[in-house]
A and B are shown apart, each in its own frame.
Chain A
Amino acid sequence: MTIRVKVVDRPVGEVSYVRATVKGLALTLKHLIDPHKVTVQYPDEKWDISPRWRGTHRMLTTEDGTAKCVACGLCPTVCPANCIKLVPGEDEEGNRYPLVFEIDEFRCIFCGYCQEVCPEEAIHMGRHYENAEYSRDRFVYDLARLTSQTHPVSELWDPADRKGE
């Protein structure tokens, strides 16, 4: 038995490639005349990132340059990735401070819970994304590294509308 194939007889005007080719060339020509730029000339130029961007952490300091952290232990508790190591200590005046404060940025999932839970507004997510290093161990940020960074920090919420209403 032979197989019958239905042959559709379409008009040439509809199936011709000429129309599509001309249309595509017209678009190319349009971009040639009026360059609509999408590419950013990184690193000379950088995009504006959202104020709520959550990048690698930064620890804010008091006026005398020490970390604001009081080692309350809420961030290691709330951290779902378990990436914060904190050992509390006591200074000469009997104040609590972090003896060891380390964040493993490889483990971090950048959820921002640490910033949200911090009662002292000490630990913050950073508004930047350039984190390249030459070795893996440099990604465990210690307290000195966290306090010495200067990039802007994330606003997890609108300062004018703290409850997010």
Chain B
Amino acid sequence: MADNTVNLTIEGRAVSVPAGTSILEAAKTVGVLIPHYCYHSGLPVAGVCRMCLVEVEKSPKLAPACATTVGEGQVVHVYSAKALEARKGVLEFLLINHPLDCPICDQSGECELQDYTFQEGRADSRYREPKRFNPMEDFGGDVLYVQNRCILCTRCVRFMDDVHHAPVLNVTERGDRAFIGKAPDADLTQPWAANVVDLCPVGALVSKDFLNKARAWELDRTASVCTGCSQGCNITVEMRDNVVVRFKPRANEHVNHFYMCDEGRANYRWLNRPDRLEVPMADGRPVDWEVALAATAALLKGKKAHIVANASLSNEAMHLIKRIAGKTGGAVTYAVNTGIEAALPGATDLAVRADRAANATAAELFGFTRTSDVLSGLSAQHVLIIVDDALDGISADAVAKAGAVIVIATAMPTAVARANVVLPIANVVEEEGTLTNLRGRVQRFLQSKQAPGLARPSWFVLADLLQSLGEVAPHLTARAAFDALAKAEPAFAGMNYDTLALSGQTVPGALAGARA
């Protein structure tokens, strides 16, 4: 065994980890979760909460597992009577001034103070004095600070200092008067500041947007990918009664570590928009899918297609668009909205990217034309196919130039006055698929919500359309659509939904040509 490996025993289990690892991290590798508040894998170690005290044999005192590195031959007891007694004491101190307002606290159900108290805390309180009371404070941005619930773990302070490099939070006052203070004239309006809400183990920092909206245990959670920019942060879509109520970051060390930006967080609202296309239409009348697809095929017969694709469509949909374009001999254009790039300085290669579209990399890989004027070269000889593009900045007159208009979309673009055929599709949380981020990482997103009306997944509709044009594309599942894509595109060779799993795989050679 290599020199830098340390062997120890935690809770009777043999552990081998590299030297320098903390006991807490070593315990995680064998499935022992040592209770902790101030420790977070993405932040520097503080050792202030004392919740991770464990008994190490031959050591005179209990050791904080987060700040103690492993030693050869150590024997660690996490649940010994001595360690449990100490942690029970820590919890009793933490609860002295805690208001126990769990019924109205947003963190309730996902609160570590609740969890650990239930696990190893006292059943009742011995504290008879009146509790300290401090008013709530609005921290600006999306963050509300409820001082009474704070346990002063300082995760938020360390995140703002060491990861965001925007030191606006601190611990003010001392002893039982201590609270998290905010620098005067500063607000938590930094582009990544709302991560302090996720980092907070209790309900002290809560999201104003989510406040009082739903309880944690009512939410349905699904793994997905944020479509706000080309970074492709891994997220969890959280829904209540088929309505998306918030996004939470999902840890992925290759993409977003533990974080996501405030802009991405606020990006859930459009997924619930009520003005969705729900039924296929031909010549302004609602029709069956078969009729609508046949009408589309009839329109395209002998005509050239001009396809405008949304740069946030899935890889599967883009691949099928490429095949439709190949069949009908037309061009595919896409536009990308751009914004200001805002990096998270303390995390490697993580930023809100300038390209505010999720899949521009795949569009580029497939040879689509990136342009601001997506309708350039359109004439009466063309059949215009709009695939979920909102046609921002395009006038109705420009669209009317086309010989015929086919809209395959979640909602009707305002610039389209009259569409010959309308095919409703599902949006990103209503279908399954994959996206390619700017570093060429192909990542899966899963279906969380039900699509409205008769809307179908984009890859399903496009494959059906391809079939009605006489091609062979029998894709009944997103998995099959991706397998066909992996077979046809060398960049995706060898990938499938199993190898991608939930953390993704990188397209070979994509890093070199990536657009920052």
- The answer to whether A120 touches B103, judged by C-beta atoms less than 8 angstroms apart, is yes
Interface centre among A71, A73, A77, A89 (most CB of B within 10 A): A73
Q: Give the total of B residues in contact with A, Cβ under 8 Å.
A: 12
Q: Which residues of B contact A89 (CB under 8 A)?
A: 212
A120–B215 Cα distance when bound, in Å, is: 17
Q: Smallest CB–CB gap between B238 and chain A, Å?
A: 15
- Most A CB atoms within 10 A — which of B136, B211, B212, B217? B212
Looking at the assembled complex, report how far the CB atom of B206 sits from the nearest CB atom of chain A, in whole angstroms: 11
Q: Decide: A77 and B212 in contact? CB cutoff 8 A.
A: no
B212 touches A96 (CB 8 A): yes
Instruction: Compute how far the CA of A46 lies from the CA of B17 in the bound complex, rounded to whole angstroms.
Output: 76
Say whether A96 contacts B215, CB under 8 Å. no
Interface size class of A (residues with CB under 8 A): 10 to 19
State the Cβ distance, A70 to closest chain B Cβ, in Å: 5
> Is A72 a contact of B212 with CB atoms below 8 Å?
no
Query: CB-defined interface of A60-90 with B at 8 Å, one 1/0 digit per residue?
Result: 0000000000111110010000000000111
B373 in the interface (beta carbon within 8 A): no
Contact of A88 among B102, B136, B212, B217 (CB under 8 A): B212
B503 proximal to A (CB < 8 A)? no
Q: Are B103 and A72 in contact (CB under 8 A)?
A: yes
In Å, the complex CA distance between A95 and B212 comes to 9
Within 8 A of A (CB), among B212-253: 212-215, 217-218
In the complex, which of the residues B102, B104, B136, B213 has the most CB atoms of chain A within 10 Å of its own CB atom?
B104
Chain B residues in 8 Å Cβ range of A94: 136
**CB proximity of A98 to chain B, nearest CB, Å:** 11
| Cβ-defined contact, A70 with B103, below 8 A | yes
Known contacts A70-B103, A70-B104; A90/B212 CB under 8 A: yes
Q: Measured between alpha carbons, how far is A96 from B211 in the docked complex, in Å? A: 9
B→A interface (CB under 8 Å):
102-104, 108, 136, 211-215, 217-218
Give chain A's interface residues, CB within 8 Å of chain B: 70-74, 77, 88-90, 94-96, 119-120
Q: A73-B218, A95-B104, A120-B103 are in contact. List 14 more A-B contacts (CB 8 A).
A: A70-B103, A71-B104, A71-B212, A73-B215, A73-B217, A74-B103, A77-B217, A77-B218, A88-B213, A88-B214, A90-B212, A96-B104, A96-B212, A119-B102
